[in-house]
């Protein structure tokens, strides 16, 4: 279920399938109403994506400029076959 929520195109496809199913059972929704609803869902997903990106960026550290407090012990994982190293941030 988590992978479904990570793919906006899949969500829009599920909404479209639900609309088609609803129309096939006799709910009177015109094509214009279906198109409007799908456009609304797409726009809503775009706005949510922007908001969630902002939240994620505010809670993570850039890889280009990492910052650790002095005295932090860091384990450096090396390629296979070489021993791992432990270092202390100065």
Determine if residue 17 is left, alpha or beta; phi over 0 gives left, psi from -120 to 50 gives alpha, anything else beta: alpha
Residue showing tokens 């908001």: 51
Closest to 44 (Cα-Cα) out of 8, 74, 80: 8
Q: What is the pLDDT of residue 87?
A: 78
The model's pLDDT over 35-82, given as tens digits with 9 standing for 90+, comes to: 888 888 888 888 888 887 877 777 776 667 667 788 888 887 877 777
Tokens of 43: 């726009």
Residue spans per domain, the chain: 2-64
Burial class (CB in 10 A: 0-12, 13-18, 19+), 15: middle
Q: What is the pLDDT of residue 41?
A: 86
């Amino acid at each position: 279920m988590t992978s479904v929520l990570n793919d906006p195109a899949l969500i829009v496809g599920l909404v479209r399938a639900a609309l088609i199913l609803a129309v096939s059972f006799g709910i009177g929704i015109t094509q214009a109403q279906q198109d409007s609803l799908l456009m609304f869902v797409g726009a809503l997903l775009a706005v949510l994506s922007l908001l969630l990106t902002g939240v994620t960026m505010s809670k993570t550290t850039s890889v280009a400029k990492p910052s650790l407090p002095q005295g932090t012990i860091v384990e450096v994982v090396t390629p296979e076959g070489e021993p791992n190293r432990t270092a202390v941030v100065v």
